[in-house]
Each structure stands twice: as C-alpha cells, then as structure tokens.
Amino acid sequence: MSFLPIETGFEALDWGNLLMLLLAFGFLYLSIAKNLEPYVLLPISIGIILANLPLTGMLAKGEGLLWILEHYGIGAEGGWSIIPPMIFIGLGAMTDFSPILANPKTLLLGFSAQLGIFIAFIGALLLGFGTDASAAIAIIGGADGPTTIYATSKLAADLLPATTVAAYAYMALVPIFQPPVARLLTTQKERKIRMKQLRPVSRTERLLFPLMGLMIVVLLIPESATLIGMLFFGNILRESGVVPRLSETAQRELTNLVTIFLGLVVGSLLSAEAFLKVETLKVFGLGLLAIIACTAAGILLAKLMNLFVKEKVNPLIGAAGVSAVPMAARVAQMIAHQEDPHNYILMHAMGPNIAGVIGSAAVAGVFLGLLG
C-alpha cells in the first residue's frame, strides 16, 4: 500500500497480533454476551486490542499512553506501582472484618491457603526460574491480582505480563477450579456441617481491628506496609463512621477508576511479543498448581482443626482462604448449598477469605524483605 501517504497498520499486522486480537474478541464475547467477569474482562480486552494494533505508538517508551499507564500504574520497567495500593484502599473500605472478629480461628485458615504459594515456589525453582522470579510466580497462588502485580513489579518486572494475566485469569476461574478440589478432599457429611451463627461484633471492635492489624503486621513485616497499610487505611475510613464521603469515594469512585486503568494496563501487557513465550506457559502451569495447592491446603487445615475444636467447622470454608474476595467465599457457599439448601456458610467463609488477603500481602512483604 505504498501509494498511501502514511504507513497503515494492515501491512504491519503479524500472526502474533492476530492471535492476540482473537483472544481479545473472545474476552469481549464472554464479558458482553455471557456476562462473565465483565468489569475485568471488558477493559482487558480493549487493552489487548490497543496493544496489538501495530504502529499506534501506544506502547512507545516514555510517550505512549499505555506505556505511561504501565510504568506508573503497575511498575513496569522499574516504574511506580501505584494501582495495587489504590485497589487495597478500596478493598479495605469495602471489607467488613466482622467474620474474623467473631471467629478468630479463621485467620489461621487464611494462613493455610498461603502454603500453596510455597509449593509453587519450589515448582518454579525446579522449572529453572531464579529465586526472585519464583517468588513472584508463587504469589499467583494467593489469587490476589494487586498483590501479584506489586510483588512481580519489585521482584521480576519482566514477568509482569505473564503473572498478572495468570493471576486475573485464575481469579475469574476460581468457580471452575475450586469445586472439584473441594469435593475430592471432603466427604458429603463434612460438606453438610452447619456452623453456629456468628456473634454480633461491636463498632469499637471493628474500629480497633484495623489499627491492631496495622501495628502487628507492619511491625513484624515492614515491607508489607504498602499493601497492608492501605488495606487497613481504607477500612478505618469505613469503620470510623466520621468520613462517610471518603469511605464511599474509596468504595466506589476510586475503585471504579482504578479498575478501568488496571484493566487497560493488564490488557496492554498482552502484546504478542511480550506474551507469546514458552515462559508464559510455565507461569500459567505453576499458577494453576499454586491455586489448587492453596485450595487443598485450606481444606486440609480446616479438617485438621476439626480434630481439636469443639464446634466443628465446615472444611469448605478453608477453600475460601485464597484471597479472591468474595468469589472464593461464594464458591464455598455454593458447594455447601448444593449439599444442604438450608446451610449458610457464606459469612463463615468470608473470614478465611479476608485473612487470605492479609496473608498473601504478608507473604509478598516477606519475599520483598528477603529478596527485594
């Protein structure tokens, strides 16, 4: 098309770009026609399209819009990583910690799910990744997108496209991966266990918890301050009750705004040359191993806990220890509901689920402290 005054993108399109565009249209279809995770998949698919249309200059270093968003938003190429802490403020403002306060045992179930992270860490080392890269890949097991982005940007920035997409993909696919593992590791009788209703929690307790959590976790693991600090900051906005406008802004406008840019950025990471590598497949495989191991560890610890406690816990709530909030808790409720339509474990499952968020941010902090 040399007769045209400008170079068009048609002649620069290669098979890699076409493949990624096909993936983007697939995501668009799933989000619009099937209503599957539209808030995540729709911006991601547009990001993929923009990143894979050639000659746009959107990813040009120092100039392109998507490069700027990647660099300052998620810390690509040694830049800032401002989006993950912003999401944690919104998450904190949306989270009610009452299930943990009413049943502190669930904090330990949140820990068990982090064991999968360490299993994936060994797996990554065996596949030949370095220590830093293995730590970044292992965090996927927490099914916590912002934590994965934050840790990867600090530990192995070149793996950002693969780890970020794997983390978000697995977060969306928790309802598909978790039920078979949960059914395999529990008996029907265990899935039918009904749990006592949680006690009501006073406002003072809800207000003291984020302060206490902030002090304990950050003093112990200072590197976790960026994520844990923002999580509890958001929660203090909510529980203080004196800044309702700030709390509502954090829950809605801030979260929505950051989600828009995060989606675009995640999509923009999926350019053909950055994504279509053998390494990406390895990361996806290890991520899958990590998330299955996290689910299994949570369930097994809940079963172990049942050997020692008077009031039995439904082992399904252990599976909610992966920090996909509130998806993992909903999956636990769904499985319990299928066995017994009058069994409600959602609030109980929210305990390990929130503890999982704290746990994975703490693991990321430990990795950053040791390796960063």
Partner 1 sequence: MLPGLVLSVIKWFDLKVMGYGIFFVLLALSLLAVAVWLMGLYFQHYEKNKGLKVKRKEGLKEEKTDDERLKAAIVAAVATCMAESKPLTRPRAKPLSKTEEASRWETMSRYELMEEP
* Residues at the site binding partner 1, with contacts judged by CB under 8 A: 100-102, 104-105, 107-108, 110-111, 114-115, 117-118, 121-122, 125, 131, 134-135, 199, 202, 204-205, 208-209, 212-213, 216-217, 220-221, 355, 358-359, 362-363, 366-367, 370-371
Which letter does DSSP use for residue 158 in this model? G
- Give burial (CB, 10 Å; 0-12/13-18/19+) of 335: buried
Whichever of 169 and 228 has its CB closer to partner 1, that residue is: 228
Whichever of 18 and 220 has its CB closer to partner 1, that residue is: 220
Shortest reach from residue 305's CB to partner 1, in Å:
12
Whichever of 208 and 257 has its CB closer to partner 1, that residue is: 208
Whichever of 159 and 217 has its CB closer to partner 1, that residue is: 217
Provide the token pair at 15. 């098979």
Whichever of 35 and 204 has its CB closer to partner 1, that residue is: 204
Whether residue 178 contacts residue 330, with contact meaning beta carbons closer than 8 Å, is answered with no
Shortest reach from residue 254's CB to partner 1, in Å:
26
Whichever of 115 and 350 has its CB closer to partner 1, that residue is: 115
- Give burial (CB, 10 Å; 0-12/13-18/19+) of 8: exposed
**For residues 279 and 136, what is the distance between their CA atoms, to the nearest angstrom?**
13
331's CB contacts (< 8 A; 6+ apart) are 174, 175, 178, 179, 182, 319, 320
Provide the token pair at 133. 């890269």
Whichever of 127 and 246 has its CB closer to partner 1, that residue is: 127
Shortest reach from residue 208's CB to partner 1, in Å:
6
Shortest reach from residue 90's CB to partner 1, in Å:
22
Report CA torsion sign: 289, 295, 297, 300.
negative
- Give burial (CB, 10 Å; 0-12/13-18/19+) of 353: buried
Shortest reach from residue 233's CB to partner 1, in Å:
17
**For residues 340 and 196, what is the distance between their CA atoms, to the nearest angstrom?**
15
Q: Is the peptide bond before 38 cis (omega within 30 degrees of 0)?
A: no
SS3 state at 141? helix
Whichever of 205 and 273 has its CB closer to partner 1, that residue is: 205
349's CB contacts (< 8 A; 6+ apart) are 316, 317, 320, 328, 329, 330, 332, 333
Whichever of 73 and 210 has its CB closer to partner 1, that residue is: 210
Measured in residues, the chain has a length of: 372
Shortest reach from residue 96's CB to partner 1, in Å:
14
Shortest reach from residue 264's CB to partner 1, in Å:
32
Shortest reach from residue 105's CB to partner 1, in Å:
7
Shortest reach from residue 359's CB to partner 1, in Å:
6
Phi, psi for residue 116 in degrees, rounded to 5: -60, -35
Secondary structure of 12-41 as H, E, C letters: HCCHHHHHHHHHHHHHHHHHHCCCCCHHHH
